Amino acid sequence: PARPAGLALAEGLPSGALTEAEAKRLAAGYGIPVTRESFAATEAEAAAAAEAIGFPVVLKGVSRAVVHKSDLGLVKLGLGDTGAVRAAHAALRAAPLPLDGVLVQEMACGEAELILGARHEPGLGAFVLVGTGGVLVEVLRDVQLAPAPLRPADARAMLRRLALWPVLEGVRGRPALDVEAVIDALVRLSWLATDLGERLVEMDLNPILLRAAGEGCIAVDARATLR
């Protein structure tokens, strides 16, 4: 597959923390699958966006100042109809913290949550990491780190070293998960990290939801900081 021009993709983006939507567009530019989503400034826009995306949807409060949205009650999952979207919108807007708006996105599903990350360390270069993801990532510390860029075989070796690996292979009657899709996403993220070079401080896709073999993976959250 063709490798996109990373610095050009990042050209219009500000330095400092990107929004979830900006970080996902950067990842999507590298062919990493992300949720369908749109930004809404009002309740009416949120309802219209949800209808266009299709139910169930997720609503998230958007603010550049927030790092962990769910800690602040800013993630509303599994909204099944317009009424639920309007109620979630009102609840988000009632939060004490000023929001720039809300992000309406498809509700995705998967069998496991992974974190994929990229960093650029001044003087050392670009690195990528993969591990057990979700909101418990700092607690579980099941991560593997390697210098970028990666070949698919490097990405596979990192996955095999995770404590999560037996789950990816399928244990106790659970289906084998789409390891090839994660390998592809990790290689693409390593290209992004290499191409952005010093402009990249860090990027985290957490979580990427992983489905059964052949069904792919999808990043439902993204965070990035640029220089």
The residue ranges that bind Mg ion (CB under 5 A) are 206, 221
* 35 binds ligand ADP per the rule CB under 6 A: yes
CA distance 223 to 36: 16
Q: From Mg ion, ligand ADP, none, which one binds at residue 105 (CB under 5 to 8 Å depending on kind)? A: ligand ADP
Residue 156 within binding range of ligand ADP, rule CB under 6 A: no
CB atoms within 10 A of CB 219: 26
CB of 157 to ligand ADP, least distance (A): 26
H helix intervals, the chain = 6-10, 20-29, 43-53, 82-93, 137-140, 152-160, 165-169, 179-196
CA-CA distance, 205 to 129, in Å (whole number)?
Answer: 10
19 touches ligand ADP by CB under 6 A: no
Max intra-chain CA distance, the chain = 52
Binds ligand ADP (CB under 6 A): choice among 105, 132, 190, 194: 105
Does 207 sit near ligand ADP (CB under 6 A)? yes
**Cα–Cα nearest to 179, from 136, 144, 216:** 216
Residue 134 touches ligand ADP, criterion: CB under 6 A: yes
Given the rule CB under 6 A, which residues bind ligand ADP?
A: 35, 58, 60, 68-70, 75, 77, 105, 107-108, 113, 134-135, 207, 220-221
